[in-house]
Amino acid sequence: MKIKPWLMISYLVVMILPIIVLYFFYISLLHFDEKRDFKEYMEAMDKVTKLDSILSNPSYYQVQDVENYRELQDIVDSSMNIKLYRDDGLKLYSTIDNTGVEIYSVHRRNFTYQDLNVLKKDYRTYTYKKPVFNENNLIGIYEITMTRDIWLEGVQNRTLILGGCLVITFMVIYGCVIILLNRKLNRPLHLLKEEMNAFAKGKSRRIKLPQTKDEIGELMAHFSKMREEIEAKNKEIKKQQQEKEYIIAALSHDLKTPLTAIRAYFEAISRSQELSDQEMEVYRAIIFEKLDYMKEMVDDLNVFTKLKSTAKKIEFVDVDGEEFFDMLLGGYEGTCRERGINLTVEQNVSAHISVNVKQMIRVVDNLMSNAIRYTDKGKNIWLAAISQSNPLPTWIFAPFIWELESWRKNGTIILIQNEGKEISKKDLDNVFEPFVQLEEARGQGGTSGLGLSIAKMIMEQHGGKIKLWSHPNYGTLAACWLKEG
């Protein structure tokens, strides 16, 4: 529940629930008082009935000495008072103060004749007045007053109980509200504050923040997402920094070798009187070869840096698969023939594909350069492009067929397979990292160690993928996957 509705409901509960509880207690006590009042009324009427035969004695309603009323004094207790009046309103006797005749007044007479034959109740007493007749003549009035001691004590007890219940109710309600506020607001905010402070200081506390559907839960979710994004960015920055440091170190190492060779050959050429024309020509060829190698390294580094750092996406064009792959796979026969390598080319693509032509040429060039470099004279290289609807070529090495069939689903694949030495599992896991070269490539020259990294980045920008398989006694297969239009 959102915080605003929750607070409004909590406010209504705090305001209304005590009133409801108070009303409940009031109704309960009122019901109890009604039953108690009826019982008390019947008890009072019973006392009045018992005293009526005594108080109806005509001899009591004459002016006389108070000693004649001793019988009345004996039948009353401390909770009762009996007053006797003459018919003209003159008070004759009162048991509570044991006094006799009072001064007569008209006001007293009018008061005496009020509420006759009615059991009158007030907060503290019951009062009953009844006229007394002798031979149908009014001779006096008696008044019985009974204090409501038991009821008053019950009222006090019930007041204490009601007050205690209300206090407990308020304590329970506000205690629950405080606990809920702490659980819903204070505790999550405190945890979030601690997590934010720890994150700001670079500490990794990683307390699992409670997942709620209110505003605080949304805030925590946003913070967690922001933290993950920042940590991912920091890792990426750290990785890029490490890559830059590695690139600088690797580039320095890889450029040092051709530079040393170029320096040595230039020094030899400078002493031309010691060299034959044939040796001079060989030295010049080697120098140009080393310069071409350095240029290739610089070009690869330039491409790698652009692909790695630019936010601009490469432009794609829709091409006819058959025409495009005829062009893409052509032009390698001469190079393979010079190296004494047998090249087989197969193209079976009919779908339309969205590609960047220049970048895809670079991918195939890089993969073919690697295949030619690691294929011995007299061995075979196979180059193909196959649509998803067409079967794999029959020359695919048996250990790769099953996994390749699963891997190529829903796309067109480019295959470069060569017979050669197996690539170890460790090298296969790292071969797409920049400046990673196989040990046997160190002495062969002509490689910057960025070719496969560049190929992978280009394929990823195309929304595709690239993978290498290698197996002893067979060779290596490189495959690129492109989504068909």
Q: How many CB atoms lie within 10 A of CB 470?
A: 21
C-alpha neighbours within 13 Å on the C-beta side of residue 109: 9
Where are the alpha helices (H) located in 182-314, listed in sequence order?
187-200, 215-270, 277-309
Residue holding tokens 């290498």? 468
Cα–Cα nearest to 366, from 294, 286, 429, 299:
299
Strand partners, 344: 382
Q: How far apart are CA 173 and CA 236, in angstroms?
A: 52
Phi first, then psi, for residue 239 (nearest 5°) are -65, -40
* pLDDT (0 to 100) of residue 9: 75
State how far the Cα of 132 lies from the Cα of 373, in Å rounded to an integer: 141
pLDDT at 4: 67
Q: Is the dihedral of CA 279, 284, 290, 296 positive or negative?
A: negative
Give the homologous superfamily in CATH for domain 3-152: PAS domain (3.30.450.20)
Q: Note the pTM of the prediction, 2 decimals.
A: 0.49
Sheet of 119-121: strands edge to edge?
Answer: 91-94, 80-86, 137-147, 125-134, 119-121
Delimit the CATH 3.30.565.10 region(s) of the chain: 313-483
Q: How many residues does the chain have?
A: 485
Cα torsion at 2, 8, 13, 16 (round to 10°)? Answer: -160
Q: What secondary structure letter does DSSP report for 99? A: B
Domain at 211-312, CATH from 1.10.287.130, 3.40.1210.10, 3.40.50.620, 3.40.50.2300: 1.10.287.130
Give the integer Cα–Cα distance in Å for 121 and 38.
12
In tens digits, what is the pLDDT along the chain, a chain of 485 residues?
566 676 777 777 777 777 777 777 778 777 767 777 788 888 888 888 888 888 888 888 888 888 888 888 888 888 888 888 888 888 888 888 776 666 655 556 777 788 888 888 887 888 999 999 988 888 989 999 988 887 777 777 877 877 787 788 778 877 887 887 777 777 777 777 777 787 777 776 655 655 666 677 777 778 778 878 888 888 878 877 776 776 666 666 666 777 777 777 777 777 666 667 777 787 778 788 777 777 776 766 666 676 666 545 678 888 888 888 999 898 899 889 989 999 999 999 988 888 988 889 889 988 998 899 889 999 999 999 999 889 999 999 999 999 999 999 889 999 999 998 888 888 887 787 776 665 554 444 445 567 788 888 888 888 899 999 999 889 999 999 998 86
Backbone angles phi, psi at 469, to 5 degrees: -120, 145
Terminal CA-to-CA distance of the chain, rounded, Å? 47
Q: What is the DSSP letter of 186?
A: I
Q: What share of the chain is helix, strand, coil (3-state, %, to 5)?
A: 60, 15, 25
Name the residue type at position 85. Answer: Y
Give the Cα separation of 52 and 121 in Å (integer). 19
Look at domain 313-483 and name its CATH class: alpha beta
CA distance 192 to 220: 7
Alpha-helix runs per DSSP H in 116-214: 149-181, 187-200
DSSP helix/strand/coil, 264: helix
Q: How much is the pLDDT for 441? A: 47
Among 286, 295, 297, which Cα is nearest to 261's?
Answer: 286
* Two tokens, residue 12: 């209504």
Residues of the chain with CATH 3.30.450.20: 3-152
